Structure 1
Amino acid sequence: MPQRALNRPFCSHCDGFPLVAVTTGQRSPNGQRKTITAACPACNGTGHTTPAATLARVGR
């Protein structure tokens, strides 16, 4: 059954992939690569942006 997702636009900086693992180039004693996690600073790791506020004309 399909899941309903919020209809928010993806972040233009990270294209919806807000968290990435970056290798440091070092290996742990058991041979695995050491990684750090980096979050997108534009969307604070959510992957979505809030839609821009629309201006409403009030009055005449």
Structure 2
Amino acid sequence: MPQHTPAQNRPACRHCDGFPVVAITTGTRNPDGTRTTLPATCPACKGTGHTAPAASLVHAGR
């Protein structure tokens, strides 16, 4: 099971739920019998697992 780091102020990414890098199997095997995998990172958070907090809404004008 994954170990969690201490609570951070940034929320987890909605697209990857905090798991930004995954290994995808290609279906082929290496000569030693292991599967060939490719790493894939979340394009929304760019592999960090977190998103920036939403900007505060400011009312300007009258």
Q: How does 1:8-47 map to 2 (within 5 A)?
A: 8-47=10-49
How many matched pairs? 58
Distance, in Å, in 2 between the alignment partners of 1:32 and 1:4 is 34
Q: What value does the CA root-mean-square deviation take over the aligned residues? A: 1.6
Distance, in Å, in 1 between the alignment partners of 2:40 and 2:34 is 19
Q: Which amino acid aligns with 1:12?
A: R
* 1:55 and 2:48 matched: no
Deviation beyond 6 Å, 4+ runs, structure 1: none
Instruction: List alignment gaps of at least 5 residues for structure 1.
Output: none
Q: Determine what percentage of the aligned residue pairs are the same residue.
A: 64
> Shift in Å at residue 56 of structure 1?
2.3
TM-score by length of 1: 0.84
